[in-house]
Amino acid sequence: NRARNQISSLSNFVEQKVLLRARVQTLRAQGTKMVFFLFRQRIDTVQGLLLVEEGKVSKQMAKWAGNIADETIVLIEGTVKQTQEAVQSATVSDVEIHISQLHIIAEPQMKLAFSVPDASRPDGMEDPEKQFKNILLDTRLNNRVIDLRTPTNQAIFKLQAAVSELFRQFLGSNGFTEIHSPKLQGAATESGASVFKVSYFKGSAFLAQSPQLAKQMAIAADFERVYEIGPVFRAEDSNTHRHLTEFIGLDLEMAIEEHYHEVMELLDQLFLHIFKGLRESHRKEIETVGKQYPADEFKWREGPEGTLKLTFAQAVDLLVEDGVERSILDDINTENEKRLGRIVKAKYETDYFIIDKFPMELRPFYTMPDPNDHTVSNSYDFFMRGEEILSGAQRIHEPGLLMEQMRGKGVDPESMKGYVDAFRLGCPPHGGGGIGLERVLMLFLKLNNIRRATMFPRDPKRLEP
C-alpha cells in the first residue's frame, strides 16, 4: 500500500526505491539480458531498465517483459539512478529506473489506430512526431481516447482547465457569483435561426444558445455580478475551423454605475489575468503543445498604453487604408477580421485588441443603442490573432425600448414574457459578455482548428465519440 511516485518528481529519489504506475510508451529488448523501457505519465517520460541479475530478475522475466505491448499500464518497483547523458526537455526525466518488479495492470485488447508519439525524442530525430502530424484530424478524432493520451493533448486540456480556473478566480475575487442557468428553454435565447429543437414530453423545447436571458434576469433580481461556465448550443451548419454546435461559454453580466466602459475594462483585466496566468504558471504545457503546433508567442500590450481599443469605424478605416472596398464593410466578415488582425499586429504589435461601437443593426435585440447616435451601439467584440473570442454589450434595461427593439428584430415579446417582465419590475443598468472557451485556447496556442481545443467536439458532421 505504498504511495505511488510521479515521473516528474523522480529526481528527488536518486538511489531510493520507488513505485510507479505508468504506460509503456515503447520497449526494446537487448539480447536476452536487458530490456529498455520508456514509461509515460501524461506529458512526462522516464527510461526504465530491466537487467537480468542472479537472485533478483530472472531470464524468464526479462523474456516475458520484452513482449509487453505498447500502451500497457504497468506497476513497477525499482531504484532511481542518475543517468549519464544530459537531458534537454522539461518533460523527460533526467534519471532512470532500474526495475526489480513489474506487474501488468491493464493492457490493450485491440489494435491501436496509431501509436502515441514519443515525446522524449528531441526535435529533428527520426521523427514519430512528424509522422503523427500527418494523421488526419478526423482519424484522430475518431480514435479520440488514444489521441488524447498524446502529450500534446494532455497539455492542451490542462491549459483548457487553467483558462476556466483563471476565469473563476478573477471573477470570484471581484465580487461575482457563479450561477447555473437552464439549458432547456421554451424559446430561442439569441436568434431563432440557429436553435436546436428537442422533443419535450408532449411538446418541444429548445437548447439554450447562451445564458443571455437568465444572466440578465439575475441582474434584475439584484445579484449585481454573475457569471456562468456552461455548454452553449448552436444549430449553425458552419463547417469551419472555428464553429462548434456545442461549446463552452464563459459568460458574465454586471450592473454598471455610469458607463459600459466599466464592463469593457473589467473584461480586459480578466483577459490579461488569463493570459498572464497561462504564461506564468503553465510554461511546460505551452512548450509541449508548441512541439506539435509551433506558434509565434501570443502578444499583448501592457503598461500605460494598455490594450488597443478601436471603434468599429476606426477598424473599417484601417481596412480601407489597406485596400478593402468600403462598400463591403457594413459588416466585417471572417476574412476581413483576419486581415484586420494582421494590420493591427504590424502596426501595434499586439495579438489582442478590442473593437467597440458596432452598428446597431449588427447586434442582437437586447443591445443598448448609443444614446447620442442610435445607429451605433454600446457593444464590443474582443479579438485574439484576428478572430473573435468575446461578444458583449450594455443591455437595454428599459422595457419600452426593449420591446421596440424586439419587434424591430422580429422577436415577439410575448414569447419571452418572463424576460421582459424582469425589466418591468425594475432593473439596474447592466452589461456583460460571452467568451468561447475553445476559441480562446485555440487562438492562444495557435491550434488553427477549434476541434483540437475540444475534448469530444460536436459539429454538423460529428456526434461521436
Using the rule CB under 6 A, is 391 a contact of ligand ATP? yes
List binders of ligand AMO among 144-203 (CB under 6 A).
Answer: 190
Q: Is 282 in the site for ligand AMO (CB under 6 A)?
A: no
> In this structure, which amino acid lies at residue 273?
H
Q: What angle do CA 409, 397, 353 make, to 5 degrees?
A: 75
Among 8, 100, 143, 238, binds ligand ATP (CB under 6 A): 238
Using CB under 6 A as the binding rule, the residues of this chain from 289 to 318 that contact ligand AMO are none
Q: Which residue has the cell 475575487?
A: 173
Choosing from 393, 441, 447, 453, the residue that interacts with ligand AMO (CB under 6 A) is 393
Query: Is 449 a binder of ligand ATP (CB under 6 A)?
Result: no
Alpha-carbon distances of 141 from 71, 117, 126, 149, 445, rounded to whole Å: 18, 16, 25, 12, 19
Between the alpha carbon of residue 343 and those of residues 313, 315, 348, the distances in Å are: 15, 10, 8
Does residue 234 carry a catalytic annotation? yes
All three cell numbers of 11: 529526481
Give the residue with the Cβ less far from ligand ATP, 377 or 391: 391
What distances in angstroms separate CA 150 from CA 82, 119, 344, one per listed residue?
A: 26, 8, 35
Q: Is 350 in the site for ligand ATP (CB under 6 A)?
A: no
Does residue 42 carry a catalytic annotation?
Answer: no
Query: Which of ligand ATP, ligand AMO, none sits in contact with 240, Cβ below 5 to 8 A by type?
Result: ligand ATP
Minimum CB distance to ligand ATP, residue 20 (Å)? 45
List the catalytic residue out of 23, 439, 451, 452.
439
Contact 220, 173 (CB under 8 A): no
Bridging pattern class, strands 44-51 and 73-82:
unpaired
Type and span of the H or E element at 35:
strand 34-41
| Residue 394 binds ligand AMO (CB under 6 A) | no
Our CB check for ligand ATP shows the closer of 135 and 329 to be: 329
Residues in the chain: 465
Which member of 333, 412, 418, 428 binds ligand ATP (CB under 6 A)? 333
Q: Where are the beta strands (DSSP E) in 340-428?
A: 352-356, 369-370, 373-377, 379-384, 387-394
Q: How far is the CB of 379 from ligand ATP (least distance, A)?
A: 11
Q: Read off φ and ψ for residue 317, nearest 5 degrees.
A: -60, -40
Is residue 191 annotated as a catalytic residue, yes or no? Answer: no
Tell me whether residue 430 is one of the annotated catalytic residues.
no
Which of the residues 168, 241, 243, 301 is marked catalytic? 243
Is 199 known to be catalytic?
no
Whether 325 is a known active-site residue: answer: no
Q: How far is CA 205 from CA 187, 202, 357, 460, in A?
A: 7, 10, 34, 20
Q: Would you call 242 a catalytic residue per the annotation?
A: yes
The catalytically annotated residue of 236, 262, 265, 404 is 236
Write out the residues near ligand ATP by the rule CB under 6 A.
238-240, 243, 333-334, 388, 391
Write out the residues near ligand AMO by the rule CB under 6 A.
190, 210, 212, 234, 236, 243-244, 247, 249, 251, 388-393, 432-436, 438-439, 450
Give catalytic residue positions.
234, 236, 242-243, 388, 391, 439
